[in-house]
Amino acid sequence: MNRVLIIGAGGVGNVVAHKCAQVKRVFSDIWLASRTQAKCEQIRRDVRRITGRTLSIAQVDADNVAETVRLIRRVRPNLVINVALPYQDLSLMDACLATGVHYLDTANYEPRDEAKFCYKWQWAYRRRFTEAGLTALLGCGFDPGVTNVFCSHAATHLFDSIDTVDIVDANAGSHGHAFATNFNPEINIREITQRGKYFEKGKWVVIPAMSLHHSFHFPEGIGPKEIYLLYHEELESLARNIKGVKRLRFWMTFSENYLTHLRVLQNVGMTRIDPVTYQGRDIVPIQFLKALLPDPASLAKTYSGKTCIGCVIEGTRNGKRRTCFVYNICDHAACYREVNAQAISYTTGVPAMIGAMLMLTGQWLKPGVWNTEEFNPDPFMAALNTHGLPWKETLPKKGFTGFLR
């Protein structure tokens, strides 16, 4: 019997719960916990209506290690799937170590008081998880997660050596709001307003936020979009795990409307992460902004259009230069019809379920702290095709990657 405890009941937690419920042969018992139990109850109703399965639910403060330990001991899961906030990664890893339970998350740790995310805090747990005989799988969403697996798939099957990887992420959908973020507004805005960074010739190059951008022609009708260089956490692990790679970069699309709103919010101080005093009380502006913006999960019902996320990879095969693009296209409306979610939540939640499935079936299970590219990519790539995120592999047309050189 495989019992899993999902912590976090936002848009991604909703998808993970639905997708686990679809695979009864692996996930025989599913628990969902959150600080807000009403969100768990709503997901439980939706999962029961769509799949016929009933989740168990609980309330927990994931910042509180002792409280989380008590919940884990009551539930006795084989695995904790962390789809709460990145701030809570370390407390949940501590709780898993205290209770002898495997761990999986979708985003690396980020301290609340600094917009800086990196793996050093979680990689520091490697010895403790190894000695406990437990597996911690980090960053098992889409980017990070699937993009890492795309790279290990390419290294295994498509290239003898990889020189460059450019990860491109396009949301070509429309949600009908003047300004909204597709996942937690606080995390999203902190991520894209920090300085850009990429890996080249063994060093990290830092540039001003959103200062480097190009047009990129996405496949299957999405067409040309403006993409902006960001720092993203999978670059850090890929720089360690792709032997001999010369350059790694991450790019994301933003509309001019989005960027205009973001500039105004920055200029008036609404994206600040430090407290300010208002009417005798300390408030954090970005947290107040989060309360004003639409809940990302609420965008799903009217979302239209598609996403495209993939890796443009260049290297050599049998002594010859080659380039390939490994990618997925995901449709917002189709995601809503299946699991009441938009595609951004779906593309994060499905890989989390797949990673959990591979851990519970023993295919991705070894003591220590790991990133997704450190496991055999084949079962993961196969599962993407059968659980809602089919991928394609193409040779780019002329000019497809011209700007990337």
Written as six digits, the tokens of 6 are 């999902």
Least-confidence region, from 153-162, 201-210, 293-302: 293-302
Predicted confidence band at 403 (pLDDT cuts at 50, 70, 90)? very low
pLDDT given for residue 15 in this prediction: 98
Read off the pLDDT of residues 354-391 as tens digits, 9 standing for 90 and up. Answer: 999 999 999 999 999 999 999 999 999 999 999 999 99
* CATH 3.40.50.720 correct for 3-138: yes
Lowest mean pLDDT among 61-75, 207-221, 282-296: 282-296
pLDDT at 190: 73
**Look-up of token digits 């991604």:** 12
119 in Cβ contact with 143 (< 8 Å): no
Kindly report which listed range (274-283, 290-299, 354-363) carries the lowest average pLDDT score: 290-299
Taking residues 320-329, report their average pLDDT.
95
Between CA 196 and CA 234 the distance in angstroms is: 14
Which is more confident, 279 or 168?
168
Sequence-distant (≥ 6) Cβ neighbours of residue 113 within 8 angstroms: 273, 274
Residues 272-286 have a mean pLDDT of 86
Domain 146-341+392-404 annotated CATH 3.40.190.10: no
Distance CA 334, CA 402 (A): 33
Average pLDDT over the chain, rounded to an integer: 91
Look up the pTM and report it.
0.91
How far, in Å, CA of 214 to CA of 231, rounded? 16
pLDDT, mean of residues 189-209: 89
pLDDT band at 395 (very low <50, low <70, confident <90, very high): confident
Query: Looking at residue 105, what is its pLDDT?
Result: 98
Structure confidence at residue 396 (pLDDT)? 59
Average pLDDT over residues 298-319: 90
Q: Establish whether the linkage from the previous residue to 144 is cis, with ω within 30° of 0.
A: yes
> What are 258-274's pLDDT values in tens digits?
777 777 787 788 788 78
In the chain, where the domains are located: 3-138, 146-341+392-404
More confident residue, 72 or 273: 72
Q: What integer pLDDT is reported at residue 308 of this predicted model?
A: 97
Q: Which two tokens stand for residue 188?
A: 């999203």
Is residue 243 pLDDT above 90, yes or no?
Answer: yes
Contact 385, 393 (CB under 8 A): no
pLDDT single digits (tens) 105-161: 999 998 877 767 789 999 999 999 999 999 999 999 999 999 999 999 999 999 999
pLDDT value of residue 298: 74
pLDDT value for 399: 45
Give pLDDT, residue 331.
Answer: 96
Whether the domain at 3-138 and the domain at 146-341+392-404 fall into the same CATH topology: no
pLDDT above 70 covers a percentage of the chain that reads: 94
**Amino acid symbol at 267:** N
DSSP-H helix ranges across 52-184: 65-75, 89-99, 120-123, 126-132, 146-157
For residue 329, give the 3-state DSSP assignment.
Answer: strand
Average pLDDT over residues 316-330: 95
Query: Quick one: pLDDT at residue 304?
Result: 86
**pLDDT value of position 183:** 61
Mean per-residue pLDDT, 88-99: 98
Minimal CA–CA distance to 129: which of 110, 91, 103? Answer: 103
Q: Average pLDDT, stretch 80-106?
A: 97
The pLDDT of residue 402? 43
